């Protein structure tokens, strides 16, 4: 089973989210950088300017007042006791710096002239609030302007791909069967479809029409072939029945006895092929099938077809295997597997083992190389075709593989050239 993949909507949302996150991150970095520029450049220059302005006036008037506003406070080291320099400032060096004091982080500028030291303390709390209103608020507005077109773009993209999504859901809901018409109603999709989607819908219509024509031809061929092939088989059955009523000698009776099961096998094979070609579920008996008895019966019947081959055959069973499966398809699989064992084994033995849910056939025949093993299930392929004593068209194992695929069974082959072949048919009980 293939892994379920994400839809187009998910991919569009993902692309839009990544784009918006990148834009937001770049915008926030820009605001943060601007705040740092304000702190390290503008405020620093402003404090340096205040200090220079104070020293110029102080030189002319030593009684010039220190700066004292809502956000800026000045201190001088030789001022009166009421204006004493706070303890947290006395240990600082000259220059521009930020200090920690009572959960506050004011910016401090310290300068020295005329044997005096000037402390300018700038409280940026109010400025931070202003920066929030005049920085974050515009940022939110800018982001809103960015997000709104992005959302509109997403909605337009979703609307553009909506016919494709509807088409994929419609195709996923279609049940393909022998009686189902592949012609689908695309009227709802065509309402909002663009040129590319219309081309795709037309291609689906043409494809469905050709498939319907092909299915119709296949049904007709199966019906006609079934009729034409059943007729000669019916003639053969009637002729064999008449021969059985005649006074035949022993050799003639043996020939008739060998012909009767082969005609029955051809009938079952024909029915199975038509059943598989129509892709219908085969009939499964209500009662469990005795696999042991069927294997024993088929092994004995095939063994009687080869009276001139002196092979040692054996049947072993670890369990009494009973399963609700199609008896007719099981017989076809066993016949092909056991026939191959007899056809390709001139001397030695053929062993059949019945396990918990499998039937294993092992022989000491000519075996196969890896190249033949890879092609064993190909129709009309037959290993060791140059051997004239082995007859057939190379359809047996292809039919077995087709039955296994439909029934959920499994067939495995292990072979070594010159030593023999082992084939295991693993069965699976059919559920009603």
The answer as to whether 432 is a domain residue is no
- Are 51 and 65 members of one domain? yes
CATH number for position 257? 1.10.287
- Are 245 and 296 members of one domain? no
Buried b (16+ CB within 10 A) or exposed e, 320-333: ebeeebbbbbbbbb
| CA–CA separation, 138 and 160 (whole Å) | 33
- Are 249 and 103 members of one domain? no
Q: What is the pLDDT of residues 291-327, one digit of tens each?
A: 999 999 999 888 887 877 888 999 999 899 999 888 8
Give mean pLDDT, residues 373-391. 68
The answer as to whether 294 is a domain residue is yes
- Are 297 and 405 members of one domain? yes
| CA–CA separation, 206 and 186 (whole Å) | 13
| CA–CA separation, 208 and 182 (whole Å) | 5
Question: Phi, psi (5° rounding) for residue 311?
Answer: -105, 145
Highest mean predicted confidence (pLDDT) among 73-82, 184-193, 395-404? 395-404
Per the model's pLDDT, the better-predicted residue between 343 and 198 turns out to be 343
pTM of the model: 0.49
The answer as to whether 84 is a domain residue is no
Quote the number of domains for the chain: 3
Quote the pLDDT of residue 79. Answer: 47
Residue 338 has pLDDT above 70, yes or no: yes
The answer as to whether 108 is a domain residue is yes
- Are 347 and 421 members of one domain? yes
- Are 258 and 324 members of one domain? no
Quote the pLDDT of residue 80. Answer: 47
Last residue of a domain, one of 234, 265, 280: 280
Quote the pLDDT of residue 234. Answer: 79
Q: For 140, what's the count of Cα atoms within 13 Å in the CB-facing half-sphere?
A: 6
Alpha helices per DSSP H over 246-326:
250-277, 291-305
Quote the pLDDT of residue 388. Answer: 47
Quote the pLDDT of residue 115. Answer: 83
Quote the pLDDT of residue 176. Answer: 59
Quote the pLDDT of residue 362. Answer: 94
For residue 268, the enclosing domain spans 184-280
Give mean pLDDT, residues 145-164. 72
Nearest-10 crossing angle of helices 291-305, 250-277: 130
Per the model's pLDDT, the better-predicted residue between 408 and 132 turns out to be 408
Q: What percent of the chain has pLDDT over 90?
A: 13
- Are 113 and 208 members of one domain? no
Least confident of 2-11, 34-43, 410-419: 2-11
- Are 389 and 288 members of one domain? yes
Q: What is the pLDDT of residues 103-134, one digit of tens each?
A: 778 888 999 888 888 899 888 766 656 665 66
User: Which of left, alpha, beta for 59 (phi over 0: left; psi -120 to 50: alpha)?
Assistant: alpha
Sort 251 into a burial class: Cβ within 10 Å, 0-12 / 13-18 / 19+: exposed
Q: What is the pLDDT of residues 248-289, one digit of tens each?
A: 788 887 777 777 777 776 776 676 666 656 655 666 777 889
Last residue of a domain, one of 173, 203, 237: 173
- Are 163 and 217 members of one domain? no
Give mean pLDDT, residues 344-366. 92
């Amino acid at each position: 089973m293939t892994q379920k993949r994400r839809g187009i909507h998910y991919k569009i949302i993902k692309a839009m989210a990544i784009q918006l996150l990148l834009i937001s991150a770049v915008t926030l970095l820009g605001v943060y950088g601007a705040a740092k520029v304000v702190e390290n450049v503008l405020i620093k220059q402003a404090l340096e300017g205040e200090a220079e302005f104070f020293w110029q006036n102080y030189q002319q008037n030593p009684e010039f007042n220190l700066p004292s506003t809502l956000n800026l406070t000045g201190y001088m080291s030789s001022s009166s006791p009421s204006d004493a320099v706070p303890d947290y400032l006395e240990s600082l060096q000259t220059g521009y710096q930020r200090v920690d004091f009572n959960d506050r982080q004011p910016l401090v500028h310290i300068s020295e002239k005329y044997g005096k030291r000037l402390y300018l303390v700038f409280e940026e709390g109010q400025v931070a609030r202003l920066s929030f209103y005049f920085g974050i608020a515009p940022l939110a507005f800018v982001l809103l302007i960015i997000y709104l077109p992005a959302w509109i773009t997403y909605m337009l993209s979703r609307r553009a791909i909506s016919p494709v999504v509807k088409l994929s859901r419609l195709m996923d809901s279609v049940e393909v069967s022998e009686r189902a018409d592949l012609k689908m109603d695309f009227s709802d999709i065509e309402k909002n479809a663009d040129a590319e989607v219309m081309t795709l819908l037309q291609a689906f219509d043409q494809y469905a029409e050709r498939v319907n024509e092909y299915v119709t031809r296949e049904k007709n061929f199966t019906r006609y072939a079934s009729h034409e092939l059943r007729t000669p088989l019916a003639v053969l059955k009637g002729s064999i029945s008449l021969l059985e009523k005649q006074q035949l000698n022993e050799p003639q009776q043996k020939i008739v006895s060998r012909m009767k099961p082969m005609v029955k096998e051809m009938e079952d094979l024909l029915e199975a092929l038509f059943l598989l070609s129509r892709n219908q579920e085969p009939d499964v008996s209500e009662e469990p099938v005795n696999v042991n008895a069927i294997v024993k019966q088929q092994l004995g019947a095939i063994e009687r077809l080869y009276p001139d081959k002196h092979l040692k055959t054996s049947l072993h069973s670890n369990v009494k295997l009973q399963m609700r499966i199609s008896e007719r398809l099981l017989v076809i699989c066993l016949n092909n597997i056991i026939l191959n064992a007899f056809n390709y084994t001139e001397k030695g033995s053929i062993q059949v083992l019945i396990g918990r849910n499998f039937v294993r056939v092992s022989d000491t025949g000519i075996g196969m190389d890896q190249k033949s093993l890879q092609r064993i299930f190909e129709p009309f392929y037959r290993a060791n075709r140059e051997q004239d004593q082995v007859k057939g068209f190379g359809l047996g194992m292809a039919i077995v593989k087709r039955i296994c695929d439909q029934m959920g069974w499994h067939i495995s082959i292990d072979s070594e050239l010159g030593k023999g072949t082992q084939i295991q048919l693993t069965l699976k009980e059919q559920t009603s």
